[in-house]
Amino acid sequence: MTKNVALLNGVNTHPFQSLDLHHRHLLPAQIVTTKPLLQATGLVKKYGVIHAVSNVDVLVYPGEVLGIVGESGSGKSTVLRLLHLEDQPDAGKFYFDVSNDQSLNLFELDRAAKRLVRVFNIGMVYQHPHLGLRMKNTSSGNVAERLIVAGNRNYAELRLAARKSLQVSEFPLARMDDLPSRLSGGMQQRVQLAKAIALKPKLLLLDEPTTGLDVSVQALVLDTLKRLQRESGVSMVIVSHDLGVIKMLADRVMVMRNGRVVECGLTDQVLEDPQDAYTQQLVHAKL
Ligand SMILES: Nc1ncnc2c1ncn2[C@@H]1O[C@H](COP(=O)(O)OP(=O)(O)OP(=O)(O)O)[C@@H](O)[C@H]1O
Ligand SMILES: [Mg+2]
């Protein structure tokens, strides 16, 4: 499903882009009318003299998985933080299909409104579990916290919902009352995932979710992500410096270098036939 969505909708690499206007009417209606879930344009973020992100556009369609690759310091995490409304950009617009007002630039919302958008619509899995989890709360408590923020106060309901979410992320339920600090890296990432999906967001942002994990654990966590995506249809933006991860999960990929997007297209195409010299280097280094 997701591959098809990407194929039918990838704006930069639209397979029908080469069709002239006279033939576009031949396309089924839903193909040309599907709206992006997320459209961020002209993102700029500077930290002092460092241009972390320079004029980056991000487009994600419903049910699509977008991968972001690039060397360390290329601006991948900064893009995710902007999309998570954690950081304010120096320039840029962010439209997200969460309200009836399609023209709402989310960067212009006040802090409280941004928080609401984040809580109800966007889940985030951080590369470092300590950024996404409270290490002094139990694992189930971490997931329940997300539900409490959304207004649920009933203990039995919270526990049940946390349990369900942990189950979906394939966390070993016998450990749900353990502190995250006592868990393995793979389990910690599953708790983060359970927390991120607890409120069934439309968008899941994943920053190197399997980096640092043992290879076999990495494969299991990736399997979980793939299954979750297939079953829930959630849109994802996944950052990874590992092309294997991108190949397995992403429909489309954006390659970043020095804060800019150097190449963007269908994952299979970009990995098989990279056009940009830096992407070629990246792909060949992996072979
Ligand atoms: N809070 C910050 N303060 C100052 N500089 C920052 C901050 N966050 C990021 N940077 C700088 O912005 C640039 C992009 O950083 P970013 O973390 O987005 O890169 P990345 O592609 O995620 O790298 P990595 O693969 O190592 O995680 C880097 O030069 C980084 O040092
Ligand atoms: Mg990073």
Residue 254: its H or E element: strand 252-257
Strand partners, 66: 237, 252
Cα 32 to ligand 2 centre (Å): 34
Phi, psi of 36 (to 5 degrees): -65, 150
* Of 96, 95, 123, nearest in space to 203 by CA: 123
Number of C-beta neighbours around residue 111 at 10 A:
9
Q: How far is the CA of 186 from the centre of ligand 2 (A)?
A: 18
Residues above pLDDT 90, as percent of the chain: 79
| Nearest ligand atom owner, CA of 207 | 2
Shortest CA distance to 266 belongs to which of 39, 1, 4, 10? 10
Scan for tokens 């280094």, then name that residue: 285
pLDDT higher than threshold 80 for residue 30? no
Which residue's entry shows tokens 């039995």? 156
Q: Does the CA dihedral 281-124-7-59 come out positive or negative?
A: negative
pLDDT tens, residue by residue, 46-77: 999 999 999 999 999 999 999 999 999 999 99
Q: Which two tokens stand for residue 100?
A: 């009836």
- Of all ligands present, the nearest one to the C-alpha of 70 is 1
Specify whether the CB–CB gap between 271 and 247 falls below 8 A. yes
Residue 6 is predicted with a pLDDT of 37
Report which ligand 1 atom has the smallest distance to the Cα of 45. 12
Q: Which of 49, 68, 78, 128 to mutate to test the pocket of ligand 1 (most atoms within 8 A of CB)?
A: 78
Give the pLDDT confidence of 239-256 residue by residue, as tens digits: 998 899 999 999 999 999
First to last CA, the chain: 28
Going by alpha carbons, the residue nearest to atom 17 of ligand 1 is 77
Q: What is the pLDDT of residue 34?
A: 80
Structure tokens given for 188? 């910690």
The pTM of the full predicted model, rounded to 2 decimals, is 0.88
Token pair of 183 as six digits: 């868990």
Measured from the Cβ of residue 81, the count of other Cβ atoms closer than 10 Å reads: 20
The answer to whether residues 268 and 256 touch, using CB atoms and an 8 Å cutoff, is no
What's residue 287's pLDDT?
61
- Phi, psi dihedrals of residue 88, rounded to the nearest 5°: -95, 130
Q: Are 65 and 229 in contact (CB under 8 A)?
A: yes
Q: Residue 33 — very low, low, confident or very high, per pLDDT cuts 50/70/90?
A: low
Above 80 in pLDDT, residue 17? no
Residue 181, C-beta contacts closer than 8 angstroms, at least 6 positions apart: 135
pLDDT score of 97: 86
